Amino acid sequence: MYYFAYGALLSRKVMDGVAASAKARQSVALSHYRLVFSGWSRVFHGGLATLKPVRGERVKGGLYEIDDVSLRKIDQYLDAPRTFVQLKVKVNTESGESFEALTYVRARAEEESKPSPEYLAMIQQGYRDWELL
């Protein structure tokens, strides 16, 4: 199965620490969503990345191949289903190839908020890891 990473788990270092058996495959994009930050994380001291449906927008991210063990570890890291819930999505490569994948969004709608500089730096590192910048 595939996992679409767009937040902290986009960082390969973070993903290795959470689910070392996840295999990075390729960069992809999710159509009709926008990356936003919402709520407040006591761990990261700011808003957390989530997806908001917005027609015509795109979110770039990374596609990992994962197994059930990795999925359970990601669930635990994201405090699913209390803080985040799974969402099935279809992502596309630059060449137009499509993949069905799981991703996670905030469990409750919360006001948009600023991420901490440290959390944002993890995501930015993920963008560099996947050559998305």
Locate the domains of the chain by residue range: 2-129
Rounded Cα distance between 106 and 78, Å, is 9
CATH T-level fold of 2-129: Hypothetical upf0131 protein ytfp (3.10.490)
Q: What are phi and psi of 39, to 5 degrees?
A: 70, -160
From 116, 91, 89, 118, select the one nearest 104 (Cα to Cα): 89
Q: What angle do CA 39, 44, 48 make, to 5 degrees?
A: 35
**130 secondary structure, DSSP code:** T
pLDDT digits (tens, 9 = 90+) for 57-114: 999 999 999 999 999 999 999 999 999 999 999 999 999 999 999 999 999 988 999 9
Average pLDDT, the chain: 96
- pTM score above 0.85: yes
Would you mind telling me the total number of residues written for the chain in this entry?
Answer: 133
